[in-house]
């Protein structure tokens, strides 16, 4: 078989069919096991389960984060977003020459939404934080901006009780939403400050009103994703490029699509008890790697669909507003086999932030940067991720494993360009055999990537349970089967990525 110029090496069709069969069989088998376990306890008196849809006749899992997010988006945020987009549309069509009117409206509607759902003091908190960043920006010192940000993020991590003072009548859910919003707000403040440093030095700094409007954009205010300041569109140039009718049709279709996925999540919670498994992970660990794998696969898909719904609805509204260029929704984790691709494709807004403000400024912009420079860049990115996500042990372990994985992947890329690899490996292997070799050495990293995510999604007990199952409880036969399944996944992902690139061309 002849290799093509883009280094894609095709495989025999029967071989690809085998990989698909192995991967699908693995998914079906572990899914069947976890559904069987869930069915045996579907009507039990476990406190973590609540009555579900009557037409299904099953109890439903309780996922606090999912419940809080969906209830807030639909009932508390939804009406305000409709008001926000309706008035913004009128301003963009009839008052485009009044340049400050749009900014005033974006600030006003978000402030009213915060005051209505939380408290007036909460509005002052977010405005005050924006004032701090704008004042620091006047000095034009990048280091001072970063130090202030890290200190503030550390302060929020260890002083979340502050929100009880801001809103004495609030419960734990309100405090959680406020803290989550504050972390997103700091990213926007950081983005504006770092993007405007040169303008501040040249005495051409945008107005505080403009800064506040960008950081108070309602659809992305509470749950993200972060849209870096450089993606902000110039209203006078880009507004109304797309026909309003086409924008409305796209908006409706996409909202139907993402609310369908919300229904899917609700349906899944009747059959796969994610939160209940997390609360009792040490018990389910004794059921073996099959049960854990089924739980892990279900948890991964659940969180992917959850974030797709949250980000998808927000991105859909942002595209309708044409206020800035929003990132794409998350890429399905079932076809991601590289650490770098996971970071690049899941939360694309956060990836753009890290690349724009940490990875590139910390070293030369050339892709041919030294290995040391690349590793230092990556370390700084993951150090910030650890701080921004809240300074907990599970986040530390998650970022640590991700940094190790990215480092190993970087070292492998460097080795792949070395004279030794070119002379003794690439020279003797055909294109298809080289692809098989790369998939084989990538498979353990793909498995490590999946396990590391369990620390983030499920906590320390979930992550440790998977490590114990893999390295202490499993036999070598079981681990070999797991590697073969992940190897098949890598081959399928390579094939799918090539198909997507070919289709785009």
Q: Which long-range contacts (CB under 8 A, 24 or more apart) does 327-333 make?
A: 327/225, 327/227, 327/352, 330/304, 332/304, 333/300, 333/301, 333/304
- Is-contact 179 205, C-beta < 8 A? no
> Rounded to whole angstroms, what are the CA distances from 471 to 264, 439, 443, 492?
34, 21, 16, 26
Please give the pLDDT value at position 363: 56
Please give the pLDDT value at position 83: 95
Task: Indicate if the pLDDT at residue 365 is higher than 60.
Answer: no
Q: H helices of 269-392, where?
A: 274-279, 281-284, 289-321, 339-345, 348-354, 371-388
- Is-contact 349 327, C-beta < 8 A? yes
Please give the pLDDT value at position 367: 60
Please give the pLDDT value at position 63: 80
Task: Indicate if the pLDDT at residue 343 is higher than 60.
Answer: yes
Angle at 493 between CA 491 and CA 494, to 5 degrees: 65
Please give the pLDDT value at position 392: 85
Task: Indicate if the pLDDT at residue 379 is higher than 90.
Answer: yes
- Higher pLDDT, residue 460 or 234: 460
- Is-contact 72 178, C-beta < 8 A? no
- Higher pLDDT, residue 81 or 243: 81
- Higher pLDDT, residue 153 or 3: 153
How high does pLDDT run on average in the chain?
83
Spell out the residues 6+ positions from residue 261 whose beta carbon is closer than 8 angstroms to its own. 305, 308, 309, 312
The CA-to-CA distance between both ends of the chain, in Å, stands at 23
Lowest mean pLDDT among 13-27, 161-175, 335-349: 161-175
Residue 205 CB neighbours (<10 A) = 18
- Residue 61 has phi, psi (to 5 degrees) of -75, 150
Read off the pLDDT band of 3 (50, 70, 90).
Answer: very low
Q: What is the mean predicted confidence (pLDDT) over 75-101?
A: 87
Length in residues, the chain: 505
Is the preceding omega at residue 225 within 30 degrees of 0, hence cis?
yes
Task: Indicate if the pLDDT at residue 401 is higher than 70.
Answer: yes
- Is-contact 223 69, C-beta < 8 A? yes
Q: Which two tokens stand for residue 349?
A: 């807004």
Please give the pLDDT value at position 313: 87
- Higher pLDDT, residue 198 or 358: 358
Q: Which tens digit of pLDDT belongs to each residue from 235-275? A: 544 444 567 888 888 889 989 988 888 888 888 888 888 77
- Helix axes 476-504 and 431-458, enclosed angle (nearest 10): 110
Please give the pLDDT value at position 383: 93
Task: Indicate if the pLDDT at residue 298 is higher than 70.
Answer: yes
- Is-contact 195 229, C-beta < 8 A? yes
- Higher pLDDT, residue 59 or 108: 108
> Rounded to whole angstroms, what are the CA distances from 266 to 49, 52, 246, 332?
13, 9, 30, 19
Lowest mean pLDDT among 106-110, 183-187, 365-369: 365-369
Q: Which tens digit of pLDDT belongs to each residue from 23-76? A: 999 888 888 887 877 777 765 556 667 788 888 878 888 788 888 888 889 989
Predicted structure pTM score: 0.87
Could you give the count of Cα atoms lying within 13 Å of 260 in the half-sphere of its Cβ? 6
Please state the separation of Cα 348 from the chain's center in Å: 7
- Higher pLDDT, residue 405 or 50: 405
Q: What is the mean predicted confidence (pLDDT) over 465-469?
A: 78
Please give the pLDDT value at position 109: 96
Q: Report percent pLDDT > 70 for the chain.
A: 90
Q: How far apart are CA 405 and CA 450, in angstroms?
A: 11
Locate the domains of the chain by residue range: 13-61+248-503, 64-227
Q: Report percent pLDDT > 90 for the chain.
A: 23
Please give the pLDDT value at position 159: 65
* Residue carrying the six token digits 């501040």: 200
- Higher pLDDT, residue 470 or 487: 487
Please give the pLDDT value at position 4: 36
Task: Indicate if the pLDDT at residue 134 is higher than 70.
Answer: yes
Q: Which tens digit of pLDDT belongs to each residue from 407-464? A: 998 888 888 888 888 887 888 888 889 889 988 988 888 888 878 888 887 778 778 8
Read off the pLDDT band of 6 (50, 70, 90).
Answer: very low
Task: With H, G, I as helix, E, B as strand and everything else as coil, classify residue 279.
Answer: helix
Read off the pLDDT band of 167 (50, 70, 90).
Answer: low
Task: Indicate if the pLDDT at residue 471 is higher than 50.
Answer: yes
Task: Indicate if the pLDDT at residue 466 is higher than 90.
Answer: no
Among 434, 503, 449, 443, residue whose Cα is nearest residue 22? 443
Q: Which value, to the nearest 10 degrees, does the dihedral of the CA atoms of residues 284, 289, 293, 296 take?
A: 40
- Higher pLDDT, residue 379 or 43: 379
């Amino acid at each position: 078989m002849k290799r093509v110029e883009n280094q894609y090496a095709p495989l025999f069709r029967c071989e690809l069919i085998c990989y698909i069969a192995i991967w699908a069989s693995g998914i079906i088998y572990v899914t069947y096991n976890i559904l069987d376990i869930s069915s045996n306890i579907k009507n039990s008196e476990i406190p973590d389960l609540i009555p579900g849809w009557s037409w299904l006749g099953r109890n439903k899992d309780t996922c606090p984060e999912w419940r809080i997010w969906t209830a807030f988006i639909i009932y508390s945020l939804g009406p305000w977003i409709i008001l926000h987009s309706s008035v913004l549309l009128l301003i963009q069509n009839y008052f485009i020459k009044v340049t400050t009117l749009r900014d005033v409206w974006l600030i006003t509607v978000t402030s009213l939404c915060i005051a209505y759902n939380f408290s007036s003091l909460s509005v002052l908190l977010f405005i005050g934080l924006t004032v701090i960043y704008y004042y620091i920006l006047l000095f034009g010192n990048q280091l001072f901006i970063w130090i202030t940000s890290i200190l503030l993020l550390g302060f929020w991590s260890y002083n979340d009780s502050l929100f009880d003072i801001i809103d004495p009548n609030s419960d734990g859910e309100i405090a959680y939403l406020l803290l989550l919003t504050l972390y997103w707000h700091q990213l926007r403040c950081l983005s504006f400050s770092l993007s405007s440093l040169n303008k501040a030095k040249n005495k051409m700094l945008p107005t505080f009103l403009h800064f506040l409007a960008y950081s108070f954009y309602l659809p992305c205010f509470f749950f993200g994703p972060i849209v870096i300041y450089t993606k902000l569109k110039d209203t006078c140039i880009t507004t109304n490029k797309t026909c309003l009718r086409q924008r409305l049709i796209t908006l409706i279709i996409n909202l139907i699509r993402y609310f369908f996925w919300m229904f899917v999540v609700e349906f899944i919670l009747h059959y796969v008890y994610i939160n209940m498994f997390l609360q009792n992970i040490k018990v389910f660990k004794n059921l073996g790697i099959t049960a854990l794998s089924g739980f892990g696969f279900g948890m991964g898909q659940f969180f992917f669909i959850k974030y797709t719904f949250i980000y998808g609805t927000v991105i859909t509204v942002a595209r309708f507003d044409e206020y800035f260029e929003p990132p794409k929704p998350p890429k399905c984790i079932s076809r991601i086999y590289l650490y770098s691709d996971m970071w690049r494709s899941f939360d694309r807004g956060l990836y753009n932030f890290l690349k724009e403000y940490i990875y590139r400024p910390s070293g030369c912009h050339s892709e041919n940067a030294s290995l040391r420079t690349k590793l230092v860049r990556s370390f700084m990115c993951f150090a910030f991720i650890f701080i921004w996500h809240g300074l907990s042990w599970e986040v530390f372990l998650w970022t640590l494993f991700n940094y190790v994985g990215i480092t190993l992947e970087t070292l492998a890329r460097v080795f792949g360009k070395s004279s030794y690899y070119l002379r003794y490996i690439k020279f003797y292997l055909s294109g298809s055999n080289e692809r098989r070799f790369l998939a084989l050495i990538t498979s353990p990293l793909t498995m490590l990537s999946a396990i590391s995510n369990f620390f983030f999604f499920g906590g320390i007990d979930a992550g440790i349970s998977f490590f114990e199952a893999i390295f202490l409880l499993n036999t070598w036969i079981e681990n070999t089967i797991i590697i073969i399944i992940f190897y098949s996944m890598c081959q399928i992902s390579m094939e799918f990525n090539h198909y997507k690139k070919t289709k785009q061309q």
